[in-house]
Structure 1
């Protein structure tokens, strides 16, 4: 029976492609006439098994498949996976994660998806506050396959495995030499790509050595090079005025604008017309309107920041990986791996925008003759450039062996060191500005400009030291077979050190914000897993893991799984697991930092008689801090599934899942505080979190928000994963069809912190489903791969309203259409002269999504439209 199952598993894997590389690399073949079969380890369990399909759904995708879809990097490959529903991060100019790429299974957040490399936890990115992994550091050329566990797995792997696990399996037994090069060029300006990789491998009866070098580069996209992000203004309603926001794109009131502290709306600088004529970027006086209660009425002096800013940052990655596997004896193997990567990123922003509060009546920059606030664009310093360099080192050294008839053991040491550095050019030195004013130095003179220019610098470092020991064995026997066990222990030591330059941390830099954070923790964990073969076709598995954290205590998590095969071609499976996410070191230890988030002030709008739907957003001043009293998030994950392969060359997989997360760690944002105040619960929240506050000026507008991290929110995800595959052999070639769909039936989120939970599926950037359809055609020396990615339609807008004393709740309006893109990849395998590739990403040049007012929706899930149609060509030769 075992031989029959393995043969069928291999045949299906080869037919459908999704797991072919995995099967070939970790072959589950049985020697003819032997009683035992070599077992394999699949993500989600440490007990090796015979069958690829088990109690937890695992999607296995080879690098060849990602390349066939035209994906450029590991990050872009994973961002196309349907279970990565929404919420992942891409390199975006102008934020602290400029060089980062993440994955967010089920849209639960990058910090709730655990990323492994060869089964070992990846080091957390310091730029992501130590709460997520940066996929940009993984060399695509070194990857053999990626296993995506769609189940909770804290009972196996510990923290962060709440929404699932990504396990990146690297090449280990490559033999020969391979060179690969590819270039891509979008039709629109920007985002050109270049790739080059080399792989070398030598193997013998005793082991193998593999070396891979990978270079990837993508150029930036500037706002001015896309019509929908380029700065523009137009009197669309014909009232003779151009209203900021409603009738402008890429323009800010941070030009030279004032507001009296005694009350009233915005006032454009008397010099605005002169600045517009003489200084590039200034666009003149714009109407702020009395209907903009969330911002304030009046007039502003506008500045077109989009004339110079980059929308998508550039990335340049150089990575190298070397691995060794060597059999010291028949029962003892040494393995080692070293991986190095450097990721450089460039972003450009307009000259610094900075707020000067409560300027005295006689202050030289205050033209109003009474105390006022000023919103300035410090054009004198020049455009800001952000240069990020990420270094990552990752080492693994281990031994594994066997003793007795069934026992297998492993010990290993894993170290990851991440060193991320950010330099910001041409920011505003507040001290230099004060020096100019005190000494009557003209701000527009060369001396004055030099005095005001500042360079910011941030060092973000994290380290992970990881010791692992595990033992798998069979002990005890039931009628259907032996009971399998796995017992082990892990020790982690984690550090985070994020340091901003002293001037920035002191609040003396205009146009930048941030606060240092540092912390250290160690974690000791023990775990146990067991599999009972209750019947020949029924297996019950259970696991338990206890993690002891030095900074907040212990957490234990169980899991129970069942897989049942009533017939060879049918698998029924079910699982229940509990999980947790430890608060990140930055969330626990962050120092106070300033920010200017956008806020829709429903409270002030209501006071002015403006409806919630018409209430506009504006920037508010925010002071944010960490919380050393945070506890862990806690979760439960339930899965029921069926796998059927009874039809010739057909596979059907359907899984239903439910994820519930309590005590979610989140920032009590300035927007949350508006909702809390609107619900009449601000004093109640302040009694629990004394630091949080929302200060308002005499006109009712927000003058200062105080926010911090806290436990207390909740989250849920429910839905289906559907995977259908079919192979068709014809006289004129072979076809492989596959469709994978993730359907969310519930996206439970709190409307605001302490507010009610609502189902937000279909909300903006929260599609109800994502689907991917692939067709592979092979004939003679040619293959053609066609991939279609589909994102469901969503509502256009989401606002929070309060009616007749009710709790504030979500109201949705408008519709954004279903979004469909196609990728085409054609390959020709010449006889002895290598492989030639030609293709197109976003073949039909699907554009970005616009709202009903004609404005571009800046959502990462629609990034293919921002890049546009991209033609690429490549060449590979192997020896």
Structure 2
């Protein structure tokens, strides 16, 4: 089989492993000696693992110190993470997935491997990133994070770096884990159970793990910081630092007289119609999930069988690993704000000849019923907008390994598939809404019917009364809801598929050079990627308030060849203990856009026994993904401001805006159509790292690494952004052809129907920074063994050049206006993780401190800061520090380990973020909603 190299504690520390490796685990289940491995970032077998690439390794013992149950939440603790990545604390758009964004470059630019092999994308279909929730911690031996571009070694997607999840293979025995946790407020219960069974014989071994995890709900209304929607210092109240915001579509109605533009409401308490003010906005926060319910279960397998020798085929072995994961999750948002014209671009005027309008609707200044073009009503009677997700993901990888003429070889194939379904509730058919608010009449039996007369009656239609308050006798009835909902739940079905074939060979000792042996690895690979997403008819036709979306379907394949050389240059000289050069190159031919070649050069210079310099320079790339290429157009509602509304210049007028501008009615979420573009090209990147590794001979357990990194991405796949298009049209006429507006024949002349914002290659991303890692374990004392580690990342630069050529500096900022719901997220200058550990006899404890420095919040485009005499563009967000603690005790006679812990011990609230999409903060980077207690028990046999 492939010859691999033993991972030692000292080398692990040099690569960034904290002192957690020193904490022992329950000993009765025999893990065996650590499997000899090839470190992530190279394919060449070598006599040590201290290469030129900056790699962070988290051993199983360190994972056990954390009160989380999935790999994604573990990776979020890495200081090199930034930006935004989804997790189960993301309600709107979260889908129950867990992803990881290294360097803030996005989950799709961080390659995820399982035992060195690609993992199928997962989600709602036609996805471009891996759901890390599919990989249980029960099966993980260690996590290796390569913080450097690696396309020359692994191909596409490895621009920011690589996450390689190494599963347990040599485990022998039986282990069971039980876990329970909940927040200090008594909600958000999380339960999990898992087992691992490992058997071994003379010819091979097998490890099987089964797992189940269940996370329950937390409501936004159950946390003080999220119970209201807040606006920070709005222009009409500049001296008040924070006031309640809300939606302009409340359950008590918001209806406009098309003649005068006056808006009417009854207010939350009911009563007579009166002019509407901002105080009548609806607080939608409390009825949203803050933590989404999520249940997962699955099974993992890893097995090896050694056949032996067959002539020149020596040490032939069969190896396989795979997993199956089932997930069910739900999101719940506030009830639908039904505003057909302004929110969905579909005319559905509420007729003056509708009986409900005549009886209960507002009256004009003459006391007359009028037709209401722009009406808005929160449909609270539905109970909210629910999305129910169910996904199944499985992957199997098989390989034959062996040795021939001193070359280790592998012939492997893999197949992965992800299937998903999404069912939505609480949405409406806009065609039926238009029917239900049209003219009405009474039939011969005195029943109110849709249509102006019996001859124009609409069969089955139930007139809709939007003028009553929920909970009163005039509320929207279930019969009304059944008709406008068409008795259906919107749905989306999706699929991802990955097929791979690989041949690879490696020899770490081809022949001797004066400074040491030459190492070579080479191979051929082919991958097939396919994905699809199918939506219901109403989303296809744009008649559903669930959005306008088209089906997605497509695929591509890639053929690749790679080669890597490890060349020793000098050794045993003054100030040159050892000097080696590593060179890798890969040729990739894509069926979509053509071919590309990417290379990488690594240098490792061991100056002294205790001091090593390392550096890398490489080219990386990312091929356009299936959704970027083929995603059907869909409608989204990013926050943006149309400058043409208040200042209609010549460009605006040419685009269809009346000369005096128009009244946006306070709408801040602009309908925008996004989708795929089959003409996209690949992203390219230049990546550099330079650093020092220091391992002083103090007490045998100290190391420090210091690395500078630089990534320059050209031609990134992006959208220009709704705000960019609106501003560009206003200032120069650019993008005006992508903006559709209502015409003069409507009562909302000039308002935006939609902004076209399809994928494109444009702009540039340049980022750089410094990573520091220090760890030490002190000599044993009478009070036990103490250890400490510190990881720190300082972000020097993150400049994003937009499609219009403008440059947005992200370093030290929070950005949330990039043309989508979540924006780019948090880019703190400093992120730190301090870990303190103690062990004595059967006791051990750890204390972890997470620090994120304060940032400036970008407020451009938030209309509540852009009033008369006000133009606030940024505000300061305070730093955020949390502490986690855990205590473990081993009961030797029972082969049991008990763990008690608390995350966010001091119950720190996440910082207030004015531009965040929901909950007045961003859980994609904090991940914390309060103090969380947990207990874990491990039994081993």
Structure 2 counterpart SS, 1:673 = helix
**Using the alignment, how far apart are the partners of 1:115 and 1:743 within structure 2?**
24
TM-score (norm 2): 0.82
Q: Residue 694 of structure 1: CA displacement? A: 5.5
With over 3 angstroms needed to count, the CA separation of the structure-2 counterparts of 1:389 and 1:713, relative to structure 1, is: same
Match of 2:709 among 644, 657, 667: 657
SS in 2 for 1:598: coil
**How has the CA–CA distance of structure 1 residues 69 and 307 changed in structure 2, closer, same or farther, with 3 Å as cutoff?**
closer
Provide the secondary structure at the position in 2 that maps to 1:465: strand
Task: Check if 1:756 corresponds to 2:806.
Answer: yes
**DSSP-derived class of the 2:855 partner:** coil
CA shift in 2, pair 1:325/1:236, >3 Å = closer
In structure 2, the residue matched to 1:492 is 527
The separation in 2 between residues aligned to 1:78 and 1:754, in whole angstroms, is 34
The yes-or-no answer on 1:772 pairing with 2:833 is: yes
Instruction: Please state whether the residue corresponding to 1:475 is helix, strand or coil.
Output: coil
RMSD over aligned CA atoms reads 3.6
Identify the structure with bigger relative contact order (alpha carbons < 8 Å, sequence gap 6+): 2
Q: Which residue of 2 aligns with 1:175?
A: 172
Query: Does residue 548 of structure 1 match 2:589?
Result: yes
Correspondent of 1:589 among 611, 624, 630: 630
Deviation, structure 1 residue 5: 12
**1:288-320 deviation line (CA, Å, top 9, x unaligned):** 4xxxxxxxxxxx854333342213311111121
- 3-state SS, counterpart of residue 628 of structure 2: helix
Give distance in 2, aligned partners of 1:41 and 1:836. Answer: 33
Aligned to 1:739: 790
- Shift of residue 699, structure 1, vs aligned partner: 6.9
Find the aligned partners of 1:286 and 1:242 in 2 and give their Cα distance: 21
Offset at 1:496?
A: 0.5
Of 531, 536, 552, 2:566 maps to 531
Question: Residue in 2 aligned with 1:612?
Answer: none
1:142–1:321 contact (8 Å) kept in structure 2: yes
User: Counterpart in 2 of 1:877?
Assistant: 939
CA separation in 1, counterparts of 2:897 and 2:81? 31
Give the structure 1 partner of residue 481 of structure 2: 449
Distance 1:782 1:25 in 2: 21
Q: C-alpha displacement at 1:147, in angstroms? A: 0.2
Q: TM-score, normalised by structure 1?
A: 0.87
Return 5+ residue gaps in structure 2 as ranges. Answer: 25-29, 310-314, 342-346, 365-369, 439-448, 451-461, 465-475, 572-577, 650-664, 815-825, 863-870
Whether contact under 8 Å (1:15, 1:727) holds in the other structure is no
More strand by share: 1
Pick from 859, 874, 884: which aligns with 1:823?
Answer: 884
Q: Which of 240, 243, 248 is the equivalent residue of 2:244?
A: 248
Contact kept, 8 Å, 1:837 with 1:873, in 2: the verdict is: yes
Note the 1:472-621 alignment, pairs <5 A: 472-473=506-507, 474-536=509-571, 537-604=578-645, 618-621=668-671
What CA deviation, in whole Å up to 9, does each residue of 1:758-800 have, x standing for no partner? 4321112221121101011000110001111111111134427
1:123 alignment partner, SS class: coil
SS of equivalent to 2:133:
helix
Distance in 2 separating the partners of 1:859 and 1:360: 37
Counterpart Cα distance in 2 of 1:74 and 1:8 = 24
Counterpart-to-counterpart distance in 2, 1:353 and 1:489: 54
Structure 1 residue aligned with 2:404: 403
Deviations 1:117-142 (A, max 9, x none): 11111111243742211111111111
Asked if the contact 2:691/2:708 (under 8 Å) is kept, the reply is yes
Counterpart secondary structure, 2:412: strand
Q: 1:15 to 1:485 in 2, by over 3 A?
A: closer
Q: After the TM superposition, which of the residue ranges 432-441 and 590-599 deviates more from structure 2?
A: 432-441
Task: Return the offset for 1:853.
Answer: 12
* Cα distance per residue 1:357-416 (max 9 Å; x no partner): 244584646967357233332345442222111110110111111122x31000111111
How many angstroms does 1:831 deviate by? Answer: 1.9
Partner of 2:821: none
Q: 1:287 aligns with which of 265, 277, 280?
A: 277
Change (3 A) 1:450 1:410: same
Paired residue for 1:783, among 844, 868, 873? 844
User: 1:180-234 deviations in whole A, cap 9, x for unaligned?
Assistant: 1111111125322111111110112321110101111211221221122224799
Structure 1 counterpart of 2:473: none
Q: Aligned pair 1:339/2:323, yes or no?
A: yes
Deviation at 1:242, TM superposition (A): 14
How many correspondences in the alignment? 828
1:593-742, aligned counterparts within 5 Å? 593-604=634-645, 618-648=668-698, 649-680=701-732, 682-683=733-734, 685=735, 692-693=738-739, 695=741, 701-729=751-779, 730-742=781-793
Query: Are residues 1:377 and 2:378 paired?
Result: yes
Change (3 A) 1:213 1:285: farther
With over 3 angstroms needed to count, the CA separation of the structure-2 counterparts of 1:436 and 1:607, relative to structure 1, is closer
User: Does 2:264 align with 1:268?
Assistant: yes
- Structure 1 range deviating more: 658-667 or 350-359: 350-359
Q: Deviations over 1:646-703 (max 9, x none)?
A: 24132010000000001011122212212323442x43x57xxx6x336477776544
Instruction: Specify the alignment match of 2:112 in structure 1.
Output: 115
Change (3 A) 1:336 1:850: same
Give 1:639 deviation, angstroms.
0.5
Give the match for residue 661 of structure 2. Answer: none
Q: 2:308 aligns with which of 329, 340, 359?
A: 329
Q: Is the 8 A contact 1:114 1:165 kept in 2?
A: yes
Q: Which residue of 2 aligns with 1:350?
A: 334
1:52 Cα shift? 2.4
Give yes or no for contact 2:16–2:57 (8 Å, CA) kept in 1.
no
SS of aligned partner of 2:877: coil
For the residues of structure 2 that align with 1:235 and 1:210, how far apart are their CA atoms?
54
Q: Distance in 2 between matches of 1:28 and 1:16?
A: 17
Contact 2:897 2:937 in 1 (8 A): yes
Post-superposition Cα deviations, 1:318-356, rounded to whole Å, max 9, x if no partner, equal 121011111111511111122010111122222222332
Greater shift after overlay, 148-157 or 855-864? Answer: 855-864
| Residue ranges of structure 1 left out of the alignment (5+ in a row) | 30-38, 289-299, 609-614, 802-809
- Tell me which of 205, 209, 230 is aligned to 1:208: 205
**Partner of residue 60 from structure 1, selected from 57, 60, 79:** 57
